[in-house]
Amino acid sequence: MRTGTIGRGLGLATALAALLTGLFTAPASAGRPAPDQVPAAALAAAPAAFTHPGVLVSRPQLDFVRGKVQAGAQPWKSAYDQMMGSKYASLTRTAKPRAVVECGSYSNPNYGCTDEREDAIAAYTLSLAWYITQDSRYAVKAIEIMDAWSAVIQDHTNSNAPLQTGWAGSSWPRAAEIIKYTYSGWPNAGRFATMLRNVYLPKVINGSNSNGNWELSMTEAAIGISVFLEDRTSYDKAVAKFRGRVPAYIYVTADGALPKTAPGSGLDTRDKVINYWQGQSTFMDGLSQETCRDLTHTGYGLSAISHIAETGRIQGQDLYPEIADRLRHALGLHAKYQLGAAIPSSLCGGSLKDSLGPVTEVGFNALHNRMGIAMTNTQALTEQQRPAGSNNLFVAWETLTHANNPG
């Protein structure tokens, strides 16, 4: 995904809420706890009862969006029009399932990889279209696509199999949640659940020591699938992965001289850590493990972090307070340079590649609109990019679903 080049010059109980108010409005030097130090009350297990629909979007959020679109309010109406005008909303789409999806590095070979990802995004798109319009044709088409895949797919193979499974496995449960819990009539919902449990979950639940966006996308899929399956054990395992990976993906100065490492990473020397961070040896608030690789992959990671936290919040386990400091710095740092600020030579040699993509709406809405954190650069970039479309991998229509959404 190359969307341009950026060179030099391119540019969280009441007590807890009170604590966070001070935490995020105090100066960085105010001696606050480590950003990922988690209050015991926040270390709750998976919910006793899962909320549905509850993967990335909730019923209150969907109702908010539907109301805004019906009223012709912006930016939701233009975002809705963008979605409905896309190939993913087509009522004539024919799914292209296959038994084995084989994906190599850089999608070479690409045997069903693009087809699977795009069919999953289409199912999600159609489920949103169903809810907003209440036109059953969209629900029927979403079901048709999900049924086509659940009847056929058996495995993902080759080197990119974990990532591919993560990407498609992030979109499928979003669609399935909306259809199962807001539309009457999906006879094969059980078969779809079996597909997620047997084909997708085993590939993503144990994480990855590759670049951080891999494990984050895989964990997003694992969280969403766990919600749909109401699998508390897998949900807890995925949350544990998330808590180990986020501090190892986004650096903040409280970490010390070197970034944190994910459990089991094997990064036990300074040289190994720096090499893993793309050769970057100067660390600053918000730097991502993949910043010096390119902003696009960094965007994948930040997007998955936001999605996981959003699903957790819907499920009654608000993960945002644990990661807010890291995420707001990361979004702000990268937005600043994408907007055109001069890039210092100490940052990736003074050159950053590509752009974040349509990935800032969810995190910005949570941190700025709900938690009241000032995010000037992120706000500017988010508003500039509206309506945010799809990256054709696992991100889609987030201006529509999350812009200023209080749900």
CA distance 192 to 151: 8
pLDDT at 219: 98
Q: Read off the pLDDT of residues 255-274 as tens digits, 9 standing for 90 and up.
A: 999 999 999 999 999 999 99
Strand partners, 5: 353
Rounded to 5 degrees, what are φ and ψ at 84? Answer: -70, -20
Q: Report the pLDDT averaged over residues 168-190.
A: 98
Residue 183: is its pLDDT beyond 50? yes
pLDDT at 8: 34
Q: Read off the pLDDT of residues 348-391 as tens digits, 9 standing for 90 and up.
A: 999 999 999 999 999 999 999 999 999 999 999 999 999 999 99
pLDDT at 130: 98
CA distance 200 to 196: 5
Residue 26: is its pLDDT beyond 80? no
Residue 141: is its pLDDT beyond 60? yes
pLDDT: which is higher, 40 or 28 = 40
Of the given ranges (6-20, 116-130, 200-214, 372-386), which has the lowest mean pLDDT? 6-20
pLDDT at 44: 58
pLDDT tier for residue 20 given thresholds of 50, 70 and 90: very low
Element (H, E) at 6: strand 5-6
Residue 319: is its pLDDT beyond 50? yes
Residue 322: is its pLDDT beyond 70? yes
pLDDT at 107: 86
Residue 10: is its pLDDT beyond 60? no
Q: Read off the pLDDT of residues 193-243 as tens digits, 9 standing for 90 and up.
A: 999 999 999 999 999 999 999 999 999 999 999 999 999 999 999 999 999
In order of 27, 38, 217, 323, 403, the CA distances from 12 in angstroms are 18, 10, 23, 10, 20
Identity of the residue numbered 266:
G
pLDDT: which is higher, 27 or 163 = 163
Average pLDDT of the residues of the chain: 91
CA distance 175 to 182: 11
CA distance 49 to 77: 34
Q: Report the pLDDT averaged over residues 102-123.
A: 97
Rounded to 5 degrees, what are φ and ψ at 353? Answer: -105, 145
pLDDT tier for residue 15 given thresholds of 50, 70 and 90: very low
pLDDT at 194: 98
Order of strands across the sheet that contains 155-157: 110-111, 100-103, 155-157
pLDDT at 37: 53
Is residue 95 within 8 Å of residue 148, measured between CB atoms? yes
Percent of the chain past pLDDT 90, that is, above it, reads: 88
pLDDT tier for residue 306 given thresholds of 50, 70 and 90: very high
Q: Read off the pLDDT of residues 42-88 as tens digits, 9 standing for 90 and up.
A: 565 799 999 999 999 999 999 999 999 999 999 999 999 999 999 99
Residue 4: is its pLDDT beyond 80? no
